[in-house]
Amino acid sequence: MATTNVVNVDGARVAYRLHGRGPAVVLVSGTAALDMHWGPVIGELARHRTVISLDYSGSGDTTDDGGALSLQKLAHQVREVAGAAGVERFDLIGHSLGAAIAIQLAASSADRVRSLIVVAGFLRGAEPRLKLQFELWLDLLRTNRGAFLKLLLLSGLTPAFVSRVGISTIEDIVKEYTHLANWEGIARQVELDLAVDVSRQVERVTSPTLVVNCAYDQIVTQTPELAASIPGSTCQEISAGHLAFFEGADQFLSLATEFLRRHDA
């Protein structure tokens, strides 16, 4: 198990971990996510690369002043974590909200980002369906956290996957995560989801970019639109719901490892 390190960034104590050895790749998780939500991705990539995973504000072991979050603030945390790890240039993988953070960083620090992979990303949190969803999440975070987690799993996983693992497994996941969650931090991240708008940032992305769409995503349905907005990007699809690495990790790893190999420098 990787050791957790901490770097101070703008008053926040940002926790991060290093796995493996080789060219560096930084993973930026989605809303409410921890390292466990990458499934086998960290371990597989770490066989040939240095994988840097972090808890940006609102997640895991990171602590801060509890203030409002912004893409700029979180992108700066990602950049500073890479610097603290001694990495000048790195590949960048972002999932969902983490995709928006990764795009912000790639747009503002093109010299640092060797290549970019975004999974289940979206352009604007104000898109009507997303807005309704994020507002529902906030309501449940305030009133029924267990229902929030069940809704996240039901909408984030495919019906076939939920049926296969069964109710008891879903309940075990909810119970386990309840003890790990930073509830106030998750609410701040969802508030940022609502405010996301990377329509200008995508125009400044110059790093080679792979956009991964999840074919059965019931949470984010705008990933192809995002791909079309990033100049020169390639869009590929995996057979998974929004929580891509629970059921589509093998397909993702096949796409990602080939893409990273082509852009190694």
Q: Are 190 and 131 in contact (CB under 8 A)?
A: no
Task: Give CA separation, 149 vs 34, 104, 158, 171, in Å.
Answer: 14, 28, 15, 10
For helices 145-156 and 167-178, give the axis angle rounded to 10 degrees: 130
CB-neighbour burial class of residue 99 (10 A; exposed 0-12, middle 13-18, buried 19+): buried
Taken in order 235, 240, 242, 243, is the CA torsion positive or negative?
Answer: negative
* Residue (of 114, 74, 119, 80) closest to 99 by Cα position: 119
Establish whether 242 is a catalytic residue.
yes
One of 96, 115, 229, 233 is an active-site residue; which one?
96
- As a whole number of angstroms, the distance between CA 106 and CA 159 comes to 34
One of 207, 217, 229, 233 is an active-site residue; which one?
217
DSSP 8-class letter at 85: T
- As a whole number of angstroms, the distance between CA 248 and CA 242 comes to 10
Could you tell me the two tokens for 84?
A: 């603290």
Establish whether 111 is a catalytic residue.
no
Catalytic residue numbers, as ranges: 96, 217, 242
